[in-house]
Amino acid sequence: MQKNIFSLCVTRLFWLGLFLAVSFHADAESLDEPTAGSASRGYDLLTKTPFLPPDFTEEMFDSAWQVWPKPLRENAAKASPTERRQMAMERYGLTTRPGDASLEPLQYVVSGSEPNKTWTMNCFSCHGGSVYGTITPGAPNNRFALQTMTEELRSAKLKLGKPLSRMDLGAMFIPLGTTHGTTNAVVFGIGLMSRRDPQLNLIDAMPKPAVHHDMDAPPWWHFYKRPHIYIDGFAERGHRGLMQFTLVPENGPEFYREHEDDFKDVYAYLMSLRPPKFTGTVDHDLASTGEHLFNDTCARCHGTYGENKSYPDLRIPINEIGTDPVRLTALPVAGRQKYAISWFAHHGEAGEQQTVVNPDGYVAPPLDGIWASPPYLHNGSVPTLWHLLKPEQRPTIWRRAGEQMDSEKVGFEIEVVSRVPLTQSDIAIRRQYFDTQKFGKSNEGHLFPNELTDDEKSAVLEYLKTL
């Protein structure tokens, strides 16, 4: 019995991390290489085609307010259905779709017809959000409240006598994300892969125990530049790896062959994305000083920008980078090996990909559009670029204080506290606080900016706005 519930939880949840094992074809590709596949069809597929069984009915989503804490619940009771939908989307970090006036979220595929509409999570739940108020597919969803939403929908279902899904059960055992905007996304990929053979047939194996920790999703506008993806760069970029997200048991091995072409279009969509341009003011003289300093101090790892752009795709050993090591060790060598010999990596076929099964550190990401993807570092522990450049000033416990950009520090406007207020009765508010003392959430490391003086750091900050 216990085994059953455990495997149910893990199987339903494993897709969360599927994206993890993305594969792709490396070699020395030029940065702007055109790709086969239709980017616009890729976007349509992501927003309109459910590749998984549904997470919940629309009716349940619209009932969640009934279990909210007061006074929010009282306000919702007085609101119109449309206002209530907006309140729920706001609470859970969901947005509308650009250029679409309906209240269908970017982050879920809505299917079926009234009164039986269902919602199915798509990639945008983590990879599509708001950049300081502008809805931007491909930007990290730094407001996503997956754990809170799952718990409250579960309570609402119990209250209204509706059946629980496996996701509901799973979330009782496996944390989906302890701080809003970050998710425990990575651990499941490997766990779920352990229940497949290399050709993705389902096998009877217990999922491997996983190390729970939260990550901040990377923006998709770097995808075209990165021959290897994920923070440790273990996998080659490719369309098949993007399908790991769909590895629920309901999708048998034939699903992958049938939908492979769809994911060529999804791949083309990701390859087509570019970062948004900085919306504030820039001091161009200062930025030009910053460019020289950046090229001397930072470019060997992060590459150069503008006319002579380059991206070194360089992995830095964990002792040298010194940022939180949990993510690196959470993915076991055996898990990466399993990926290496699977259909995702084109094992045994022409174009077989090289998987790095034992990476020793993290890859320095491209910094294009870096102003638009706070918080910083792979675990999202640093709220602004200014704090990234001033390691000794990084706050220990902080939360986002508003939707606007802190245009001086470039990143979130924040409130810093000495402890998370445990007396706060709304769990959604407690989960807004990022406590860097918790497991996997350290804000240490990346001390390279300390080669610069404070004035030089200001110049580099100005330059970073222009990327």
Count the neighbouring beta carbons within 10 Å of the beta carbon of residue 442.
17
Distance CA 331, CA 188 (A): 10
Distance CA 87, CA 290 (A): 42
Interface pick for ligand HEC out of 13, 21, 22, 200 (rule CB under 6 A): 22
Q: Does 467 bind ligand HEC (CB under 6 A)?
A: no
Q: Does 139 bind ligand HEC (CB under 6 A)?
A: no
Q: Does 365 bind ligand HEC (CB under 6 A)?
A: yes
Neighbouring-strand partners of residue 135:
130
* Site mask for ligand HEC (CB under 6 A), range 68-107, x = bound: ----------------------------------------
Per CB under 6 A, which of residues 202..221 are in contact with ligand HEC?
A: 215, 217-218
Instruction: Please choose, out of 25-33, 148-156, 178-186, 396-404, the segment that lies near ligand HEC by the rule CB under 6 A.
Output: 178-186
Close Cβ partners of 381 (under 8 Å, ≥ 6 residues apart) = 324, 375, 394, 434, 436, 441, 442, 443
Minimum separation from the CB atom of position 205 to ligand HEC (A): 23
Distance CA 256, CA 245 (A): 11
Q: Closer CB to ligand HEC, residue 65 or residue 92?
A: 92
- CA–CA distance from 236 to each of 223, 255, 353, 360 (Å)? 11, 22, 6, 16
Q: Three-class SS of residue 86? A: helix
> Quick one: which of 206, 237, 182, 193 has its CA closest to 353?
237
In 227-383, which ranges are continuous DSSP H helix? 253-272, 284-297, 299-302, 318-321, 326-330, 333-340
Minimum separation from the CB atom of position 211 to ligand HEC (A): 12
Minimum separation from the CB atom of position 116 to ligand HEC (A): 24
For 299: left if phi > 0, alpha if psi spans -120 to 50, otherwise beta; the answer is alpha
Q: Closer CB to ligand HEC, residue 189 or residue 207?
A: 189
Q: Does 230 bind ligand HEC (CB under 6 A)?
A: yes
Q: Does 45 bind ligand HEC (CB under 6 A)?
A: no
Q: Closer CB to ligand HEC, residue 136 or residue 323?
A: 323
CB 156, CB 60: distance < 8 Å? yes
* Site mask for ligand HEC (CB under 6 A), range 280-299, x = bound: -----------------xx-
Interface pick for ligand HEC out of 126, 171, 210, 273 (rule CB under 6 A): 126
Instruction: Please choose, out of 89-97, 247-255, 342-350, 357-365, the segment that lies near ligand HEC by the rule CB under 6 A.
Output: 357-365
Sign of CA dihedral 67, 72, 76, 78: positive
CB 399, CB 415: distance < 8 Å? yes
Interface pick for ligand HEC out of 92, 119, 224, 376 (rule CB under 6 A): 376
Per CB under 6 A, which of residues 243..262 are in contact with ligand HEC?
A: 245
Burial 141-173 (b: 16+ CB within 10 A, else e): bbbbbbbbbbbbbbebbeeeebeebbbbbbbee
Q: Closer CB to ligand HEC, residue 118 or residue 246?
A: 246
Minimum separation from the CB atom of position 133 to ligand HEC (A): 20
Distance CA 198, CA 240 (A): 13
- CA–CA distance from 117 to each of 58, 105, 159, 244, 260 (Å)? 5, 13, 20, 26, 27
Interface pick for ligand HEC out of 240, 378, 409, 465 (rule CB under 6 A): 378
Instruction: Name residue, tokens 């990022």.
Output: 434
Q: Does 377 bind ligand HEC (CB under 6 A)?
A: yes
Per CB under 6 A, which of residues 422..451 are in contact with ligand HEC?
A: 446, 448-449
Q: Does 369 bind ligand HEC (CB under 6 A)?
A: no
Q: Does 388 bind ligand HEC (CB under 6 A)?
A: yes
Distance CA 147, CA 43 (A): 26
Interacting residue ranges for ligand HEC, rule: CB under 6 A: 16, 19-20, 22, 123, 125-127, 183, 185-186, 215, 217-218, 222-223, 226, 229-231, 242, 245, 266, 297-298, 300-302, 316, 321, 323, 362, 364-365, 367, 370, 373, 376-378, 385, 388, 446, 448-449, 460
